[in-house]
A and B are shown apart, each in its own frame.
Chain A
Amino acid sequence: MVERHRGTPDIKSILRYLLLGIMGLAFTAPMIAFLLNAFARQWFFPQLLPQTWTLEAWERLLSGRSEFVQALGNSALIASVVTLVALILGLPAARVMGLYRFRGKRVIEFLLLLPAVVPPLAVSMGLTVNFLRWGLAGTWVGVALVHLVPVLPYVVLILSGTFASYDVSHEAQARSLGAKPLAVFRYITLPMIFPGVVVAGLFAFLISWSQYLLTLLVGGGRVMTLPILLFSSASGSNNTTIAVQALMFTAPTLLLLLFTSRVLSRNALTGLARL
């Protein structure tokens, strides 16, 4: 299948590696631009690289109770709560979807996929108007609730993949030895599905972490998360500030890539494309 040239490289394979190199540069270029800008003190127009470097923006943004630190905290809090709630709600459903065949399964599958792929505009506008009446608009609880719409479907989809290759008979053995339901879950089920739970949890965290539109509408500008702050910086602040915020916003997402770079299902990939 592959032309392997272990000896002298020819023109064709040099060209191939050149193209791959350009590809790699193109896909990492924005991160390189952020890194350069985040540490640049003076960087006037024609200069290709900053002339002097500084940590000033990092010190300013990460000090004490800055708006940035608060946004970081809000984002982490909301994403953690959303992850936990989505896992608790999603695990039973994923178990059923992964293990059993039943009438109406296709309908449930469709219902799960729809919120995962439909653009959030119409849904979040409808919810915002209602949340305003219920006093949930402008609160982090309201924002966390609305984040469940894109997060929960992916948790169920990813975990049902885990349950599809799960052997229920271990649970029956534990029960026959007298284990109570909670003990069965704690000592049998959870250890066996744990890798799937970690991946689903990472996805849940990430999808919530990167929501802009839902937070903007339901939060109404009063729930300051990292994407909200970054968006408003992008149309006003100086480049160093924007670059630091963009790097901090992206860092957890790149960590996910390291964790899951091996096996990404089609559903998981679709989740990433949606971020």
Chain B
Amino acid sequence: MSSESNPSRWHIAILLAPAVIVLLVLFGGGLIYSLLQSLGWQPLIGQTRLSLDAYTNLLFSPDYAEVFWSGLAFSLWVSGLSTVISAILAVAIALLIYQTARGIRLWTFLFQFNLPVPHLVAAVGMLFLLSQSGLISRGTVALGLTSTPADFPILVRDTAGLGIIIAYVWKETPFIGVIVLGVLRSMSDSYDPAARNLGANGWQRFRYILLPLITPSLLSSSLIVFAFTFGAYEIPALLGVRFPRGLPVTALRLFTDADLNARSEAMALSLLITLMTSLVIVVYLWLRGIAERLT
């Protein structure tokens, strides 16, 4: 689209400078400083020698290893299951809306409704809905399924992280779903009738026509969900238990620990979380490139 005579490199650099410098200083600076601190560089308490102690402590020392490995397993479990359930539900609902004749605008609106609702509100909402004296528990009493709060399963602050998973599924399903719905709506109307004329049944039309078309977008948006849920704090902090505890919650507790020595471990843990999510995001960018070439 560059209809203007191509501007000089200086012109481009000067226009980019304000945003790029602010981000480099704040984002890059913050990241580098926490890297230095994770390597034990704390001039305030007289430590300037660099070492990998914080990382080896976190992974192997009796003080931290159990918290780290159980937290890693817990975070992988929560993010993995949340992502898979969200992806399946998202495809199911997107297909349901796509194939519905009446009220498409209403259904789409309801599907998108919680898209801009913050994670913190999702967590508080789940406290209101899922706790043993919450709204759903009252509903099961009205239906005669339970009679006391104790009859209702523990879904909030449970050791398996079920409340956390439900909150993430509630928050992230519309994100994947709206993207999938967009792909469905942008594809040609002729595939489905053509396959039908050739005698393909409903499952075959989904498996061999729709699924290959939505797969790149589905995978890339699922990866983003995995990355976001793996590094997010609010939901596991409000809906989780002391043990096992999600990695981001542990990182923040170590950071606010009265013992300043725990800071190196807090920074090391945060950087490990950042590293793991960044790897997922690199795969996401690669997949998104493929998805954009396809649509």
Contacts of A117 in B (CB 8 A): 224, 227-228, 277, 281, 284
Q: Which residues of B contact A5 (CB under 8 A)?
A: 101
Q: Report the number of A-B residue pairs with Cβ-Cβ less than 8 Å.
A: 300
B29 and A126 form a contact (CB under 8 A): yes
Is A179 part of the contact surface with B, judged by Cβ < 8 Å? no
A124 at the B interface (CB under 8 A) = yes
Q: Scoring B residues 184 to 211 as 1 if CB is less than 8 Å from chain A, else 0, what string do you get?
A: 0000010011000000000000000000
Q: Please tell me if the beta carbons of B110 and A234 are within 8 angstroms of each other in the complex.
A: no
For B, the interface residue count at a CB cutoff of 8 angstroms equals 104
B96: Cβ under 8 A from any A Cβ:
yes
Q: Is the CB of A123 within 8 A of B34?
A: yes
Residues of A within 8 A of B16 (CB): 92-93, 96-97, 108
Among B125, B252, B273, which residue has the most Cβ atoms of chain A within 10 A? B125
Instruction: Establish whether residues A227 and B118, one from each chain, have CB atoms under 8 Å apart when the complex forms.
Output: yes
Q: Are A168 and B26 in touch, CB under 8 angstroms?
A: no
Given contacts A115-B23, A122-B271, A164-B1, contact A27 B110 (CB under 8 A): yes
B245 CB-CB contact with A under 8 Å: no
Knowing A27-B174, A149-B30, the reply to whether A4 touches B118 (Cβ < 8 A) is no
Q: How many angstroms from the CA of A164 to the CA of B2 in the assembled complex?
A: 9
Main secondary structure of the interface of B (DSSP, over half): helix
Contact indicator A30/B121 (Cβ below 8 Å): yes
Interface string of A29-47 (1 = CB under 8 A from B): 1111110110000000111
Report the bound CA distance from A48 to B80 in whole Å.
Answer: 34
CB contact under 8 A between A246 and B125, given known A122-B31, A212-B120: yes
- Which among B106, B274, B288 is the interface contact of A119 at CB below 8 angstroms? B274
- Name the one of B7, B18, B100, B228 contacting A273, with C-beta atoms under 8 angstroms: B228
Query: Which chain A residues lie closer than 8 Å to B122 at the CB level?
Result: 30
Closest residue of chain B to A163 (Cβ to Cβ) is B1
Q: Which positions 119-178 of chain B face chain A at CB distance < 8 Å? A: 119-129, 133-135, 138-139, 141-142, 147, 149, 170-172, 174-175, 178
Q: List residues of A whose CB falls within 8 A of some B CB.
A: 1-5, 13, 16-17, 19-20, 23-24, 26-34, 36-37, 45-48, 88-90, 92-93, 95-102, 108, 110-115, 117-127, 129-130, 145-146, 148-149, 152-153, 156, 164-169, 172, 206, 210, 212-213, 217, 227, 230-231, 234-235, 239, 242-243, 246, 249-250, 253-254, 256-257, 261, 264, 266, 269-270, 272-275
Question: What are 15 pairs between A and B in contact, CB < 8 Å?
Answer: A17-B103, A20-B103, A27-B170, A29-B135, A46-B138, A48-B139, A90-B19, A92-B19, A108-B20, A126-B32, A129-B33, A167-B3, A257-B113, A261-B112, A273-B172
